Structure 1
Amino acid sequence: MNTMAITETVLTGERADLFQALANARHFLRFTVRGLSDEQAAQRTTVSELTLGGLVKHVTGVEKQWQEFMVMGRTAMAWDGTDFSKVPPEAVEAFKDELRMLPGERLDELLENYTQIAARTDALLADVDLDTVHELPVAPWFVDKQWSVRRTLLHIIAETTQHSGHADIIRESLDGQKTMG
Structure 2
Amino acid sequence: MTSTAQLTGERADLLQALRRHRGFLLHTVEGLTDEQAATRSTVSELCPGGLVKHVAGVEERWMLFAVGGAEAMQRAEIDWAGQFRMTPGETLAGLVERFQAVAAHTDELVATLDLDNAHPLPQAPWFEPGASWTVRRVLLHLIAETAQHAGHADILREAIDGAKTMG
TM-score (norm 1): 0.86
Q: After TM superposition, where is structure 1 displaced by more than 4 Å over at least 4 residues in a row?
A: none
Query: 1:78 offset after TM fit, Å?
Result: 2.2
Aligned residues: 164
- Contact residue 38 and residue 106 of structure 1 kept, 8 A: yes
Give 1:152's aligned residue: 138
Pick the aligned partner of 1:118 from 80, 85, 103. 103
Check the 8 A contact 1:49/1:96 in 2, yes or no.
no
**1:78 and 2:63 are equivalent in the alignment:** no
Candidates 72, 82, 85, aligned match of 1:100: 85
Runs of 5+ in structure 1 lacking a partner? 80-90
Are 1:29 and 2:14 counterparts?
A: no
- Report the residue type matching 1:121 in the other structure: T
Alignment partners' CA distance in 2, 1:138 and 1:77: 12
How far did 1:13 drift?
0.3
In the TM superposition, residue 77 of structure 1 has moved relative to its aligned partner by 3.0
1:42 maps to 38
Secondary structure of the equivalent of 2:81?
helix
Output the aligned Cα RMSD.
Answer: 1.7
Q: Does 1:179 align with 2:165?
A: yes
Supply the distance in 2 between the matched residues of 1:143 and 1:127 (Cα, whole angstroms): 28
Aligned to 2:13: 17
Secondary structure, in 3 states, of the residue corresponding to 1:102? Answer: coil
